[in-house]
Amino acid sequence: MLRRHLARAVWIGLALGLALAGPVRHAPADPLPVKSGKVVLPLTGLAVDLPADKRKNATWMLSGSWSLTDGGAAFDGRDVVDLKVGDKLVAGNWVHIGYFNAGDCAAVVKALDVPDRWTGEKTLWGLKFQVAGGTWDFENNLGKKPAIALCVANAAGGSLLLYHFFLEDKAPVGKAGLAPLARDKFLERVAKAWKSMLGTWEFSQKTPDGGTFRGRSVITSLFGGRVIFATGFLGNENAMGQHSHFTAGIDPESGEWMVWNFDQDGSFTKGPAYFDGNNLVVDWKTANAADGKVIDYRVEYVFHDNGEYTVKVLTPAEKNGTRGTIAEVRYKKVGDQVPAAAETAAK
């Protein structure tokens, strides 16, 4: 199996100096049945709307597997999303993201260990994939079934690797399997979710005095996705200035995603990120540069079906546990490609 370094989640946005992550605490022991609807894949952190299948008793089965290799230096993990109709498996999918030891995507798909392997390229869902296929031997009652591996890298260096297994009785053979893959709604939604994570995001809204409050977040990944780096800007209708310098990664002590941030005043923030249902919560604990006082803010991210998201910045909790709203903005993506460092200055 291919190995990837510790990069158990990816990030969707940065707002007001704050970012999004999908932490992974445990690999599930048993598959989770889901008919359809929004889920967060536990190992990759991808938020995906599982499509409904019209066949009677069709159910998605969600699970995952992971292990540490190289003495704990490398993380090998995948989300497993199978489709069952009644008691029969009809399709299998593995989803990986990160940096792969095999090399670039052309080398990664060649690691598909089958005797009749073929390779090529295919553009699917707006992405150009390196692909490989052949006959996979499950070495169990499933027997030998056609399989296709697809890999694509983004400008920031991270990669998406998908495995699809054709488990129905009359499965397509060889490159003929690429045609039904192009119509696969699940894989399409996974690819689009991965594609949407990095890039430039902006918001703009009117203020009570008739002015404009606007912001921009430029998000990229470093070292094959093991570190997320982002720069945030805030301003008005005339100009914006840098508001945040942000880094996120796996905390070696807790094993969870942790965020670290400095703002324009030198205030330092550190806090964990975790999912509450389909919303992301960041415990944004800020040490004020002026007096060193730690302020326990919280940020909630609400994801919308059109790919946009709302960010709510909340006050420290009152004695009864309630929090007030400091700011609420809605971000829209304005660019897929991450600009070079010299191009991130606000205009």
> Radius of gyration (Cα) for the chain, nearest Å?
21
In a domain, 7, yes or no: no
In a domain, 129, yes or no: yes
Same domain, 212 and 339: yes
CATH number assigned to the domain comprising residue 250? 2.40.128.20
| Domain stops at, among 195, 211, 229 | 195
Q: What angle do CA 80, 3, 116 make, to 5 degrees?
A: 75
Looking at the 3D structure of the chain, how many domains does it have? 2
Same domain, 61 and 110: yes
Q: Is the pLDDT of residue 4 over 70?
A: no
**How far is Cα 149 from Cα 133, in angstroms, rounded to an integer?**
6
Same domain, 67 and 119: yes
CATH number assigned to the domain comprising residue 184? 3.40.1000
Given a contact cutoff of 8 angstroms between Cβ atoms, the answer to whether 282 and 273 are in contact is yes
In a domain, 163, yes or no: yes
Tell me which H or E stretch contains 327.
strand 325-335
Domain with 48 in it: 14-195
35-79 residue pLDDT tens: 998 888 877 878 788 999 999 999 999 998 877 666 666 667 788
Same domain, 204 and 327: yes
178-233 residue pLDDT tens: 999 999 999 999 988 887 667 788 999 999 999 999 999 888 766 655 677 889 99
Same domain, 308 and 331: yes
Same domain, 142 and 46: yes
Same domain, 46 and 67: yes
Same domain, 26 and 175: yes
Tokens linked to 244: 């945040």
Q: Which of 27, 41, 171 is nearest to 97 (CA)?
A: 41
Same domain, 116 and 247: no
